Structure 1
Amino acid sequence: MATVLHSSPKPPQLTRFFPSRSNFLAPLPPIPNPSLQHHHLYNFKSSTSKIFFSSSFSQGSNTPPETVCPVPLDQQPINEYQTLSTSFPFSWASSDVVEYSSKLFVTGASFALFVGFPVAWFGSVGPETEPFKRIMCSLSSGVLIVTLAVVRMYLGWAYVGNRLLSATVEYEETGWYDGQIWVKTAEVLSRDRLLGSFSVKPVLGRLKFTLVILAASLLVCVLLLYNVNGNQKASDISSENGSGRVIPGVYNDESARAFEPDAFCGEPSPP
């Protein structure tokens, strides 16, 4: 025996009619809920503001420290290091050993040959009688000019190294009268100290070793010149005493009799 299932009738659809329209059976579109619209608009604004805030925060976190550093670009230690490492003659100290030594040798030899030797040879009386002394004077001038160049390089690299290793940076905004001090951030301090420890300190060690060698060379040149002058003076005195001639700048009776014997007529000669 079949069972008949009775379904509940569908509720009637509510419609609104406009008598002036021809198709008065067409229903009106549903009226949106204002509270629901406001809710969706608020969610859209909040999500947009969250995205913008997160993007701006991520950009701020990825911003390098130099962009927020108040120190001018030309006074920042890392820029000073880059400028110093590419300028003349400071770039010599950061090159390899062969190039560094050859440049210093060429500088000293050129100065000694083209400046020191002509001055020592033609600027004195009778240089042909003392050739060794003139050559030593020209070599000493070459060593001296190289020493001055190395001292200048050492002072420049030491200044930049101190600014890299220091936790603060002294800078001038517009002139000497408005000096300021900026404390480095942790990232900047770590970067600068790594650069100063592994790039500047080896250069300073090389320059110190060069200064020691140059100082020893100058000392040897001075000792040789002193010995040459001492030997020459001793030989001059012995020759003058042996020949009985007048010694310039020294007065005694013997030299006066040899120079002007008529003034001592009738006086007994010394024993």
Structure 2
Amino acid sequence: MNESKCPVPREQQPTNEFIELSKSKIFSWPKTKKSLIYILAKFWVGAFLLFLVISSGSVYFKSSLLKYILLSLFSSLSIPLFITIRLYLGWNHIFKRLTSEKVEYEESGWYDGQVWEKPLVLREKEILIASIEVKPILRNLIQILSIISVLALSGILIFQYNIF
């Protein structure tokens, strides 16, 4: 953005917010789908081990080792699910800021919200950034969220109807 014409503070400009989010250690995970799946799998295994320890105190599951392991496996999906939801919310916020016609900002931080309408050239540039950079990330996150949700719901159904 041309700083002489743009009243929006530099750190609140959508393009700069996108750059900062891209540089962030956690929010850069979804840039490649394989790396995100690998990281989420690590969290899932770590959470599985933690949930094994937590579930080991249950008298109910001492009688069935299979139920004990499956409960830990399916409940540990909550950790990757929450991480993926957080990543999605952050990237979706940036996507909306990049594609909107107007930018909401605060000059002093005292909730004195202002609105600035983007010029056409800037709007086209930011829409291009959103469609090329951010949209594939959101698509990957939605696919991963769908997979995790299906796995978690199948676990709930298995326990709800005592299939095993």
Q: TM-score, normalised by structure 2?
A: 0.92
Once the two structures are TM-superposed, the CA of residue 127 in structure 1 deviates from its matched residue by 3.8
5+ residue gaps, structure 1: 1-63, 232-271
Once the two structures are TM-superposed, the CA of residue 153 in structure 1 deviates from its matched residue by 0.7
Of the candidates 105, 119, 144, which is equivalent to residue 41 of structure 2?
105
4+ residue runs over 2 A deviation: none
Residue in 1 that maps onto 2:51 = 116
Specify the code of the residue in structure 2 equivalent to 1:179.
G
Matches within 5 A, 1:4-15: none
Of the candidates 79, 95, 98, which is equivalent to residue 164 of structure 1?
98
Specify the code of the residue in structure 2 equivalent to 1:177.
Y
1:192-231, Cα deviation, whole Å (9 max, x unpaired): 1110111111111111111111111011111222243x77
Partners of 1:164 and 1:106 lie apart in 2 by: 32
Instruction: State the aligned residue count.
Output: 164
Residue in 2 that maps onto 1:52 = none
Residue in 2 that maps onto 1:206 = 140
Where relative contact order (Cα < 8 A, 6+ residues apart) is larger, the structure is 2
Partners of 1:81 and 1:141 lie apart in 2 by: 33
**1:89 equivalent in alignment to 2:23:** no
5+ residue gaps, structure 2: none
CA contact (8 A) 1:65 1:188 kept: no
CA contact (8 A) 1:136 1:225 kept: no
Q: TM-score, normalised by structure 1?
A: 0.57
Greater C-alpha radius of gyration: 1
Once the two structures are TM-superposed, the CA of residue 100 in structure 1 deviates from its matched residue by 1.6
RMSD: 1.7
CA contact (8 A) 1:161 1:201 kept: yes
Once the two structures are TM-superposed, the CA of residue 89 in structure 1 deviates from its matched residue by 2.2
Once the two structures are TM-superposed, the CA of residue 126 in structure 1 deviates from its matched residue by 5.7
Question: Matched residues, percent identical?
Answer: 36
**1:223 equivalent in alignment to 2:157:** yes
Residue in 2 that maps onto 1:155 = 89
Partners of 1:126 and 1:168 lie apart in 2 by: 56
